[in-house]
Amino acid sequence: MKILLFTTGGTIASIIDDGVIDVTPQGKLLVLKKYKEIDKDTEFEVVSPVNILSENVQLTDYKAIVEAFKNIDTSLYDGVIVTHGSDTLAYTSALLGILFSNINKPVCVVAADKSLQDEKSNGMDNFCVAVEIIKNGMCGVFVPYRNGDNKVYIHNGVELFESDTLSDDFYSLGGAYAVFENGSIVKNKESNSLYSVDVEKANLNFDKRIMQVMPYPDLDYSRLDVKGADAVLHRTYHAGSVCAVGNSNNCITTLIEKCRKDNVPLYICGLKTGKDNYYSMSSIMDKGVKLLYDMAPACAYMKLMLES
Q: What is the pLDDT of residue 190?
A: 76
| pLDDT, tens digit (0-9, with 9 covering 90-100), for 49-73 | 999 999 999 999 999 999 999 898 9
For 220, other C-beta atoms within 10 Å of its C-beta total 10
The domains found in the chain, sorted by start residue, are 2-187 (3.40.50.1170), 210-306 (3.30.750)
How many of the other CB atoms lie within 10 Å of CB of 125? 18
Cα–Cα separations (whole angstroms), residue 77 to 48, 74, 137, 202: 16, 5, 11, 25
Q: What's residue 168's pLDDT?
A: 86
H or E element that contains 124: helix 123-136
Torsion angle, CA of 146/297/106/24, rounded to 10 degrees? Answer: -60
- pLDDT tens-digit profile of 217-274? 999 999 999 999 999 999 999 999 999 887 789 999 999 999 999 999 999 999 999 8
Amino acid sitting at position 224: L
CA 170 – CA 267 distance, rounded (Å): 25
Residues with pLDDT less than 50, the chain: none
Residue 197 half-sphere exposure toward CB, CA atoms < 13 A: 22
Q: What is the pLDDT of residue 102?
A: 82
Q: Bridge partners of 292?
A: 269
**pLDDT of 191:** 67
d(CA 271, CA 37): 46
Instruction: Please spell the DSSP secondary structure of 52-110, one letter per residue.
Output: B-GGG--HHHHHHHHHHHHT--GGG-SEEEEE--STTHHHHHHHHHHHSTT-SSEEEEE
User: C-alpha dihedral over 5, 10, 15, 16, to 10 degrees?
Assistant: -160
- Decide if 44 contacts 2 (C-beta within 8 A): yes
